[in-house]
Structure formats: C-alpha cells, structure tokens
Amino acid sequence: MSETLNELDIVQNPAIGAYTLWCFGLGFQNEDGNPATFPLVFLVLPLVLHKPTLEVISSTRKASGLALFAAKLGEKRENLLAVHERALALRRLSLQSIAMGVGSHLLTLDYTAATIRSNAPDSSLRKPKVPERIRDFSGAADKVGWWFSKLSVHQVASTLAVVF
C-alpha cells in the first residue's frame, strides 16, 4: 500500500530536522567552537520550517543580528508571538531530529552540560547535495546559530518572546 506524502510530511521530518540542526550548530560554533545550550535547539525548527519566518531570516543580513530579525518579524506582533506556539507544536519533531542527528553522528549531546555540538564534517566526505526545496534551510539555520551565539539563552528568549 503506497502512502502519498504531503508537503508538510516531506519538510517536517526528522532527517531534514537533523540536517537543519547540524547546520545551526555549525553556525553557533563558528567563532569560538562552543556548543549550543540545549534549549536553544528547540527554537531552530519553528523558525526555519515556517516559510514566512524563513523569508524574514533570509532577507536579514547575518551582521544585523537577532534583534533586527525580531524587529522585522515583530512588525506584526502576532508573528513574533507565534514563535513560542510553534516551538511547543514542534517539540516532538525537534526531539526526533536531535535523536536522528545524534544517531547519525551529526550531533553530540552532552547530557551533563546540557549542550549540543555539531560534529565537523569528515574531510573525506563531500558536502551533501540537498534538494532545492530545502536548500534555504541550511543557510538560515547557520545564520540563526550565529545570531544565537552572540547572546545568552535569556537574551534569545526575551528577544523572541519565548519562555523555556
């Protein structure tokens, strides 16, 4: 019995989530190599997998930072407030994506420190070729990671109007 997948099922799956979280971690670790605090990971998919929010991320320069992104997103206050609701709705997908990332050695979870690290790609492997429809996810996730790395967890939560 063949099952037809809709676009939501295609995009919101743990494999794409794991890849997106890996890109986020690489962006977060870019300058000092420190891993991301675990709660931050739960904000990545709600930001990147939501097309209107992805468009705002893509149109915001990396150097502009999280505050300008949040200001652009918050031009309609409900858009900024929706990040928290999407984070709650996508908790399961985020957890499944973390599990897949850890299982495939893309990510390393430090249970004691409550951090998550993106493992460096093996030099013998080439960068994966991803389908066009998800290509924007990697750049956006990397940018979000870089933005988050510049702030504390509390600053990120306050800027994005989320509660951990």
Q: 98-117: per-residue pLDDT in tens?
A: 999 999 999 999 999 999 99
- Using the structure block, give the residue that is written with the tokens 């977060």: 28
Q: Between 2 and 163, where is the model more confident?
A: 163
Q: What confidence score (pLDDT) does residue 1 get?
A: 44
For the chain, percent of residues with pLDDT exceeding 90: 79
Give the separation between CA 130 and CA 115, rounded to whole angstroms. 27
Cβ 73 vs Cβ 140: under 8 Å: no
Q: What is the pTM of this model?
A: 0.90
Q: Angle at CA 151, nearest 5°, toward 156 and 39? A: 50
- Using the structure block, give the residue that is written with the tokens 């499944």: 96
Cβ 141 vs Cβ 27: under 8 Å: yes
User: What are the boundaries of each domain within the chain?
Assistant: 12-121+130-159
Q: Between 155 and 78, where is the model more confident?
A: 155
Can you state the angle between helices 51-59 and 41-48, rounded to 10 degrees?
Answer: 100
